[in-house]
Structure 1
Amino acid sequence: MERTSNLQQHTSEKTASGWLNGFIGVLIFSGSLPATRVAVLEFDPVFLTVARASIAAILALCMLLLFNEKRPAKSQLLSLAIVALGVVLGFPLLTALALQYVTSAHSIVFVGLLPLATAAFGVWRGGERPRPVFWFFSVLGSLLVVGFAVSQGLTASPAGDILMLLAILACGLGYAEGAKLSRTLGGWQVISWALVLSLPVMIPLTWFLAPPSLSGITPTAWFSLAYVSLFSMFLGFVFWYRGLAQGGIAAVGQLQLLQPFFGLALAATLLHEQVSLGMLGVTVAVILCVVGARKFSK
């Protein structure tokens, strides 16, 4: 009986730790789209994508060497490649392209679809089986986001919205694959090795696509590049993958529904973008869906 009680306590503590780590990851990711929006005003979106990956990869390589981490097994390389394609290349590039057409406030609403995408890929790639009521809250939260976008008429830019939807799919796959791999390789090690795997491609592209002159780039743009490189591309994943591995991909993934709330606040305060009552209403509704999804995640 005591052994069972200790096991249940350990599981509960691990789950709570997973939610805390996931929450910290979401807070860090919340600044990604506003920072990207600022950066693409002065940097080419493709250059921004490869530059942020290169900077983060150099940091990751230093960390791996410092802690003398063992190399991933050959059987793990395919999963690392999927992570790299999803979150190192796919999501950053597609969102940077999308933010040429739409505001960060508009794009942030689409992040509400990430939990559903992550949960779906978690079932497919991670073997998780949440309860049916969980899917009700997950789908409801996603429908609220999509419904809001449709209510706006998608007149801002169909191209921008399509790019954001593709970005969400790429990111959901990268999250689920990375979380599955984190169970055996470790959270920060997964994003580190994925970044290092992409380094031979990203470094030459960064050099080739670099602007002819950097003298006209403002400090704000440089700060935005630094944020998406160090925080969005590396530190955020250290907490996020650990959280997903500890608390479950589908369950902790629902925390992404909170990201629009934090992102909209940043867009309004830092970029002075208009945040409508409709956006706030959707955000509050999806927060309630997070609560419901968490309760029925297992």
Structure 2
Amino acid sequence: MLGVALFAVTLPMTRLATGTAAAPQLSPWFVTLGRAALAGGLSVLFLLATRSPLPARRHLGPLAMAVLGNVVGYPLLLAYALRVVTASHAAVVTALLPLATAAVAAAVMRQRAALGFWLCAAAGSALVVAFSVLRAAQHGGGFGFEWADLLLVGAVVAASLGYVYGAKVTPELGAERVICWVCVLALPLTLPAMLWLWPATPVAPSAWAGFVYVGVFSMWIGFFAWYRGLALGGALRVSQTQLLQPFLSILAAVPLLGETLDTVTLGFAAAVVATVVLGKNLARNPSTATTKTASRST
């Protein structure tokens, strides 16, 4: 939940950093590569301070997938999409991230769950999508298909792959070292690119604030908690806590953007919490439960 809470502010902060098509600020490429370079510099300091050993060769494949998914794919596609669509529109598509993460975890990490878990995951995703569509309609934005939606779908797929492959090596490397090595492996690309793409025109202080947040919290500190949570509870089950992320984004928007809470928001949030709790209880591996029962009988 700590990781989700930190990630929840990513949408509004990315919007602040990139601006809009009518009033652009930092370029999506600079935000993507620059935030990774910022996190990479912090990662070097952390790894040196903790005297962390180099990752083994078997870790490089999953770490490379995490680089592609979490360092490049998700932030780049999201940044470009948010220049075209509103944050509430983006939330409609990115609300499917928990279900996508659960599906990737089931395929990559061989994690299984009962049918009830999948029904709860689908119900929770449907609730979040319905809520996001309702809010978009209330704000006059509506929800129509456009090319930016394809970018958001790609961002969802990229993030889910990065989450699962990062969680795959977390038990051996540790959550903190996984995201640090991910950022360090990308540093030979991200640092020169950030310097090359450094803005030549003045940028609003709010855009720089958004950039610093996504670099320090969205790209680095948030993963300390997120990867550890995925490893401890299982990527398939823990991924469903992301269903709460849109609502935490709304809470963050109250002090940041001056928005107010309403009963509809709180009602949808309560319903989503119920699906998360129920789905979490149904996410146990059936084969594991059978094995434990057989062992007790023996």
* Paired residues for 1:1-298 under 5 Å: 23-41=1-19, 42-147=25-130, 154-155=143-144, 158-213=146-201, 216-272=202-258, 282-298=268-284
Tell me which amino acid in the other structure corresponds to 2:213. Y
Q: CA deviation at 1:279?
A: 6.0
Tell me which amino acid in the other structure corresponds to 1:246. L
Distance 1:292 1:55 in 2: 38
Change over 3 Å in CA distance of 1:124–1:286 after alignment to 2: same
Length-normalised TM-score, structure 1: 0.85
Distance 1:275 1:94 in 2: 29
Distance 1:35 1:44 in 2: 14
Backbone CA RMSD of aligned residues:
2.0
- Quick check: 1:108–1:264 contact (8 Å CA) kept in 2? no
Change over 3 Å in CA distance of 1:149–1:161 after alignment to 2: farther
Deviation string, structure 1 residues 126-163 (Cα, Å, up to 9, x no partner): 121122211110112223344556675523x6222221
Tell me which amino acid in the other structure corresponds to 1:159. W
Q: CA deviation at 1:236?
A: 0.2
Q: CA deviation at 1:285?
A: 3.1
Unaligned runs of 5+ in 2: 20-24, 285-298
Q: CA deviation at 1:281?
A: 5.2
Deviation string, structure 1 residues 21-59 (Cα, Å, up to 9, x no partner): xx1111111111111011111111111111100000010
- State the percentage of identical aligned residues: 41
Residue of structure 1 in register with 2:22 after alignment? none
Tell me which amino acid in the other structure corresponds to 1:229. G
Deviation string, structure 1 residues 89-141 (Cα, Å, up to 9, x no partner): 11111111111012223323433211111111111111211222111101122
Residue of structure 2 in register with 1:11 after alignment? none
Length-normalised TM-score, structure 2: 0.85
SS at match of 1:256: helix
Figure out how many residues of one structure are paired with residues of the other and give that number. Answer: 273
Tell me which amino acid in the other structure corresponds to 1:191. I
Residue of structure 2 in register with 1:4 after alignment? none
Change over 3 Å in CA distance of 1:277–1:210 after alignment to 2: farther
Unaligned runs of 5+ in 1: 1-22
Bigger CA drift: 29-38 or 261-270?
Answer: 261-270
